[in-house]
Amino acid sequence: MTKYLISFPSAAMVFPDEDLQAVSDAAHAVVREARDAGVWVFSGGIDESVAPVMVDGDGTVTEGTYTQTKQLEGGYTVLDLPSREA
């Protein structure tokens, strides 16, 4: 199996306050479904108030992120799947 990272920007989570409960319920249902299927690895959000750093394999810490990354925001989920299509 291969691990896949699904990321989503903060802007994807802009919705009216009255929709908060429905969005929360739907998100939790997706996580439950992935866990029940045995493909969920982990997920989380990124604290956008903290500047990103990169940690190299030897432990060297460098401020910033990859040059092609304009900004780091939102959240992510990692799933362990047999293929991208799955």
- Model pTM score: 0.67
Q: Is residue 9 situated within a structural domain?
A: yes
Q: Is residue 50 situated within a structural domain?
A: yes
Q: Is residue 33 situated within a structural domain?
A: yes
Q: Is residue 49 situated within a structural domain?
A: yes
CATH assignment at residue 36:
3.30.70.1060
- What phi, psi does 83 have (nearest 5°)? -160, 165
CA-based end-to-end distance of the chain: 11
- Please give the average per-residue pLDDT across 64-71, as a whole number: 74
- Please give the average per-residue pLDDT across 43-63, as a whole number: 88
What is the pLDDT confidence band of residue 73, given thresholds at 50, 70 and 90? confident
What is the pLDDT confidence band of residue 49, given thresholds at 50, 70 and 90? confident
Domain tally, the chain: 1
27 CB neighbour count, 10 Å cutoff? 14
Q: Is residue 86 situated within a structural domain?
A: no
Q: Which neighbouring-strand residues pair with 55?
A: 61
Full residue range of the structural domain in which residue 40 is found: 2-81
